[in-house]
Amino acid sequence: MLGNREIVKRYIGDRLVWEQIILKVMTIEGRINISNNLITLNAENIKKRLEGKRIRKISIAQGKEHAVDFTKYSIFLSDYILSIRNYDNEFKEYLLNNGAKYRTYVRLKVQFYYE
């Protein structure tokens, strides 16, 4: 912030060194399940909707946003399933604290924030 204005670009001389990333939001309603080493989200056309998007954050049921780095996880994406392996405890705890259940499918709305 500069005064009451948000900074969206930063220059050194005439060279752009930083630009604010504007994230788009997509809501997908599906069934989430957490097991020992796998998180699954089952939803219609999930592959078509997520493929090629660089996801930066998620939120569940319009709750607090959680930054994610899906490059750290093993991801499998099919027409109806998003599977995540090798996730960390922080990500699992975020899901459990926002409505997901361990070893039980729960229908939730997940917001994906992407570039």
pLDDT of 96 > 90? The answer is yes
* Second-level CATH architecture of 22-114: Beta Barrel (2.40)
Phi/psi-derived region of residue 3, left when phi > 0, alpha when psi is between -120 and 50, beta in every other case:
left
CB of 53 within 8 A of CB of 112?
yes
Phi/psi-derived region of residue 45, left when phi > 0, alpha when psi is between -120 and 50, beta in every other case:
left
Indicate the DSSP class of residue 99: T
Q: Where are the domains of the chain?
A: 22-114
Query: 22-68, pLDDT tens digit by residue?
Result: 899 999 999 999 998 899 999 999 999 999 999 999 999 888 999 99
> How buried is residue 73: exposed, middle or buried, by Cβ count under 10 Å (0-12/13-18/19+)?
middle
pLDDT of 1 > 60? The answer is no
Query: 11-30, pLDDT tens digit by residue?
Result: 888 887 777 778 999 999 99
Global pTM reads 0.80
Amino acid identity, position 40: T
Identify the pLDDT of residue 87.
92
CB of 71 within 8 A of CB of 57?
no
